[in-house]
Structure 1
Amino acid sequence: MTRPLESYRALFPVLQEQLYLNHAGVAPTSLRAAEAVRGWMDDLVYHGISHERGWEAHCERIRALAARILHAESGEIAFVRNTSHGLGLVAEGLDWKPGDEVAVASSLEYPSNVYPWLHLKDRGVVVREIQTPSGGVTPEAVAQALTPRTRLVAVSSVQFATGYRTDLEAVGALCERAGVLFCVDGIQSVGCVPVDVKKCRIHFLSADSHKWMLGISGIGVLYVAKEVLPQVRPVLVGWRSTTDAWNFNRTHFELRSDAGKFEEGSSAYPGLYAMGAAMELLQEVGVENIEARIRELLARLEQGLLELGCEVGPAPEHRAGIFTFLPPGARVRELGAYLSEHHVAHSVRRGRIRVSPHFYNLPSEMDRLVELVRDFRA
């Protein structure tokens, strides 16, 4: 990729009014994604379903693109409504036995990666806590949480509140040695850092497109490794779950053998078209380039905030796209309100300011944030 990253800013008009540093919350989507959705809408408005086969073919290209981004196979990718939907399909679809355990850092994780496992209590499944004194899930903590009854380990690739990046490769290797299933909430990593589900020995990964992927809410992907696909029973089934889906003249109930069995009905074309355009943009820029740019921006921000006496985290070696800080005096809510007044999109999570820039943000915007924090203190 030789095109300057700054040149992509024109695709994101929101940058004209905001210093946008909340991609870990809800990201702005691009003009390309909006154009893709309008194109499909115009097709429907003017031509009805005349080009439905073309829509379906395009969605299969999007599935293949998602597979490439995750280093998976197309048959291992299902389209889901959101991260919670995908994790719920896994939680409800496995054949649990009373006494089975799920290891999860429930005190730290986003609720989407806690509630599906707690919901299994009436099936006799026990949630076992992974300890997180450092603000993240470490391989050592996972090892300590494992017992002979552990069936599955559930982690976020990056913790939403602290920004701590999980060593997925090390945890995946640990799970493989223990014969344990490995499930990942990937929403805080897919789109900002490379993700390789095979290298990390991940069995399940769910992520929706409205954060780092730069898509829109209501659409995402679920990866299910082909070797465990037979172990997961679809919670919902419909015409699309079957091997002869487009033949409406007979009833032939035979479930698909690939991840398509989790898609029970009609496709969410607007969301898929938006997500497809967003993923094409990520591929064009290059996820490795995105990761390098974000790392550069956060290093610059860290230096400026440290000079102001702020407490910052996570450490560079545990960092993906999320950066948190605590100003001297800890007037977090007041600072958050001040930043909002000055059109800085950010979040406050568990008593800290959380910022999350993307590849098109500028070093000068990091300097601007530091200036605002300095002015607030004054």
Structure 2
Amino acid sequence: MSAPFESYRAEFPVLKEQLYLNHAGVAPTSTRAAAAVKAWMDDVVNHGVLHERGWEAQSEKVRGLAARIIGASPEEVAFVRNTSHGLGLVAEGLDWQPGDEVAVATSLEYPSNVYPWLHLKGRGVEVREIPTPDGGVTPEAVASVLTPRTRLVAVSSVQFATGHRTDLDALGALCERSGVLLCVDGIQSVGCIPVDVKKSRVHFLSADSHKWMLGISGIGFLYVAKDVLPRVRPALVGWRSTTDAWNFNRSHFELRPDAAKFEEGSAAYPGIYAMGAALELLLEVGTDAIGARIGELLAQLDAGLRGLGCDVGPEPKDRAGILTFLPPGANVRALSAYLSEKTVSHSVRRGRIRLSPHFYNTNEEMDRLVELVRAYRPG
């Protein structure tokens, strides 16, 4: 492991306790993120609201970091509680008409990217099922279900259960040619691989920070492309949604023209501070370097597990940060329990063991995982 990556391990004390391969589930956060939250808490404890302007300035700095990591502008970014919150704002904010259609792989997607669209049934919106015979959403599969009534395609950048990476560039080009909006659940890619919403022609992207971003639960961001911002009506509004937000002496209801119109009330400063520290760390390391390093670790796991006769997926060309496997002749639940006893943090998704290392994991840790699988004896 190269020195630049190795140096960050000290910021994640959990690595002394566990072999952490569960960043697609809930990631550990860093000491610098914890310090950022503590600094804000200490400020409130000792000074009350005296430094509120500083909190706001820091929030805008974090908005800029969030925009930077996905290739957007700060005006296109809103803070949200989680991925579901952001996707729900999109689903509830568009001007749907009876007979409109949304294309989504309901059989494959995480529920956060299914339920907001199914919830539109009461408004006469139909959900068209995208076929996924190979465990992922392909542009060809999407093209097969598009009709003149399709208004939006909803997809995860990386499928949570299979690990299949969506070709967002190709899908974005298809949606642009078809005059269809593209909405992305980005939680399994932001912080793991490079993301460029402009290059991929994405209209909406929602992600919260407790997975690959190495932040904490309860805070994330929603990207809304500048050209579609006027078409999305905030499902909730409050004082912060308006152009004269800090003037409490009058009522002047004029919505902000930027994505901050979706932030209806007081900011979640602790979460924003934590996410800011996490994003600074990721940008410091570099998203290209992170993506490449994770790819190396997955390739090592792939080779080792295949050498044991495991069924491993997805294929390298379809891979981002997730590897899943089935051991030959072993009970998955029993093997999972064994790995947990050996302090390996991992997940089981749809009957397969899911592994998801981050850039600070080591080659020795990948060897350890393979050796644990090799050593396992059922019963």
Relative to the length of structure 2, the TM-score reads: 0.99
Compute the RMSD of aligned alpha carbons: 0.8
Q: Tell me how far 1:161 sits from its aligned partner.
A: 0.1
Give me the whole-angstrom Cα distance separating, in 2, the residues matched to 1:308 and 1:69.
38
Report the secondary structure of 1:59's partner residue. helix
**Secondary structure, aligned partner of 1:10:** helix
Q: CA deviation at 1:86?
A: 0.1
Task: Give the whole-Å Cα distance in 2 for the aligned partners of 1:86 and 1:132.
Answer: 25
- Asked if 1:180 is matched to 2:207, the reply is no
Partner of 2:112: 112
Give the AA of the match of 1:52: E
Tell me the distance in 2 between the aligned counterparts of 1:290 and 1:214. 13
Residues in 1 aligned to 2:12 and 2:244: alpha-carbon distance in whole angstroms: 42
Separation of aligned partners in 1, 2:49 and 2:355: 43
Matches within 5 A, 1:19-58: 19-58=19-58
1:238 maps onto 2:238 in alignment: yes
State the distance in 1 between where 2:180 and 2:23 align.
Answer: 32
Structure 1 runs, 4 residues or longer, greater than 2 Å off: none
Gaps of 5+ in 1: none
| Distance in 2 separating the partners of 1:330 and 1:211 | 29
Q: Deviations over 1:296-352 (max 9, x none)?
A: 101111111011000000001100000000000141000000000000000000000
User: What are the superposed Cα offsets for residues 229-286 of structure 1, whole Å, 9 maximum, x if unpaired?
Assistant: 0100000000000000000011100000000100000000000000000000000000
The answer for the alignment partner of 2:95 in structure 1 is 95
Q: Equivalent residue for 2:18?
A: 18
Distance 1:3 1:251, change over 3 A: farther
CA distance in 2, matches of 1:158, 1:25: 13
Shift of 1:144: 0.3
Secondary structure, counterpart of 1:108 in structure 2 = coil
Q: What residue number does 2:7 align with? A: 7
1:328-367 equivalences in 2 (<5 Å): 328-367=328-367
Q: Distance in 1 between matches of 2:301 and 2:363?
A: 8
Residues 1:297 and 2:260 are matched in the alignment? no
Aligned residue type for 2:306: L
SS across alignment from 2:7: helix
Given residue 124 of structure 1, which amino acid in structure 2 is its aligned partner? G
SS at match of 2:96: coil
Q: Deviations over 1:106-136 (max 9, x none)?
A: 0000000000000000000000000000000
**Alignment partners' CA distance in 1, 2:333 and 2:310:** 15
Structure 1 match to 2:158: 158
In the alignment, the residues of structure 2 paired with residue 285 and residue 330 of structure 1 have an alpha-carbon distance, to the nearest angstrom, of 38
Task: After TM superposition, list the pairs within 5 Å mapping 1:65-104 onto structure 2.
Answer: 65-104=65-104
2:269 matched to which residue of 1? 269
Deviation at 1:3, TM superposition (A): 5.3
Structure 2 unmatched ranges of 5 or more: none
Q: Which residue of structure 2 lines up, in the alignment, with residue 63 of structure 1?
A: 63
Letter in 1 for 2:189: S
Deviations 1:210-230 (A, max 9, x none): 000000000000000010001
CA distance in structure 2 between the partners assigned to 1:188 and 1:200 by the alignment = 16
Between the aligned partners of 1:330 and 1:187, the Cα distance in structure 2 is 31
CA distance in 2, matches of 1:330, 1:64: 48
Q: Report the TM-score when normalising by structure 1.
A: 0.99
Distance verdict in 2 for CA 1:3–1:245, change over 3 Å:
farther
Aligned to 2:327: 327
Q: Secondary structure at the match of 2:8?
A: helix
3-state DSSP class of the match of 1:4? Answer: helix
Structure 2 residue matching 1:207: 3-state secondary structure: strand
C-alpha change, 1:251 and 1:3, in structure 2 (3 Å) is farther
**Displacement of 1:145:** 1.1
Question: Aligned residue for 2:144?
Answer: 144
Residue identity matched to 2:342: H
- Give 1:4 shift: 1.8
In the other structure, the counterpart of 1:316 is: 316
Distance 1:85 1:252 in 2: 26
Deviation at 1:7, TM superposition (A): 1.1
Amino acid corresponding to residue 351 of structure 2 in structure 1: G
CA distance in 2, matches of 1:168, 1:142: 12
In structure 2, how many angstroms separate the alpha carbons of the residues matched to 1:292 and 1:76? Answer: 28
CA distance in 1, matches of 2:252, 2:4: 53
User: Number of aligned pairs?
Assistant: 377
Matched, 1:370 2:363: no
